[in-house]
Amino acid sequence: MTYKILSYFAIIALGYFLKKIDFLKEKDGAILSRLIIYVTLPVVIIEAITNVKLRPSLLFLTLFGSAAAFVIVVIGLLFFSRTNLSRESKGSLSLTLCGLNLAIFAYPFAQALWSNVGLTYMAMFDVGNALMIYTLGYSVALKYSSEGFNARTVVNKLVTFPPLIAFEIALFMNFSSLKIPPSLSYMIDPVSSANAFLSMLTIGVYLNFKRIIREFKYMLSGIAIKYSAGIAVGVTLWYFARLIAPADHVASTVVLISSLMPTPLLSLIYSIERKLDPEIAGGMVTITVVISSVILFFVGR
């Protein structure tokens, strides 16, 4: 698990280094983000969801995932709407509080810590979390963009959004007990494996330490909101999970840990797409990956 965390930081550092020597530029980061959205992330979603058995009896975890993502972003929106930051920075900081990075960051750790049982529980939680990221998250991005919020634009985006389409296909396959054919699995495995590399590389490309230092006060507020709200929501959901499934300690633990996972990469990608403030989003992703890695490290000991 430690090596996994260190590998993420090494790839982020590589992306930052390649930008500093002008091998990669921010416009290349936009291309990488489109590659993630349209190719690698949909494959990861389909593989992750079809490799576990989602059970209707665990739908309370899905509701918990939606609740966690919703409560944290609402608190963030209320706070940042009162600051004197630019519209773009407010939008990106609010986005970084919308949802949790589970599929890319936390799934491997859930499987390592609690085997397939823990992975299944986290996937059920992530169903609700992902729905909030795809719907509420994009609505927030649009609200702070120059275009402004438009319900038709949101609906059109959702209908054609590759990760959401992949999510729907994966849910259908899971509940229909359909599996990816082995011949197809061999073809898509390299694509899935590339997702984490491209994601961390993109974060590195948009990492700007000068911006992080200059806006640290507001980023620190975002981090404080994310983790204080995450702890409050996580403990509350942990308590309800214990009431619903008193003998299942893994379910309640997964709920608590999931509520403390990093900022979703889509906050960076939405910021790039809607021309908000990707440098702040990239900084928040990096810092929360560090903090959540420490949390996982102590949980895994």
Q: What is the pLDDT of residues 258-301, one digit of tens each?
A: 999 999 988 988 998 888 999 899 889 889 988 998 888 787 66
Instruction: List, for residues 118-139, the tens digit of each pLDDT value.
Output: 888 998 899 899 889 988 998 9
Angstrom distances, CA of residue 263 to CA of 23, 181, 266: 27, 33, 8
pLDDT of amino acid 152: 80
Residue 32 structural domain: 2-300
How many domains would you assign to the chain? 1
pTM: 0.84
pLDDT of amino acid 5: 74
- The gap between the terminal CA atoms of the chain, to the nearest Å, is 10
The stretches in the chain having pLDDT less than 70 are 1-2, 300-301
Token reading at 244 = 């619903």
Token reading at 40 = 């690698």
Instruction: Answer whether 118's CB lies under 8 Å from 250's CB.
Output: yes
Domain containing 197 — which CATH number? 1.20.1530.20
Token reading at 282 = 């990239």
pLDDT of amino acid 1: 64
User: Assign residue 275 a region: left if phi > 0, alpha if psi is -120 to 50, beta otherwise?
Assistant: left
pLDDT of amino acid 72: 95
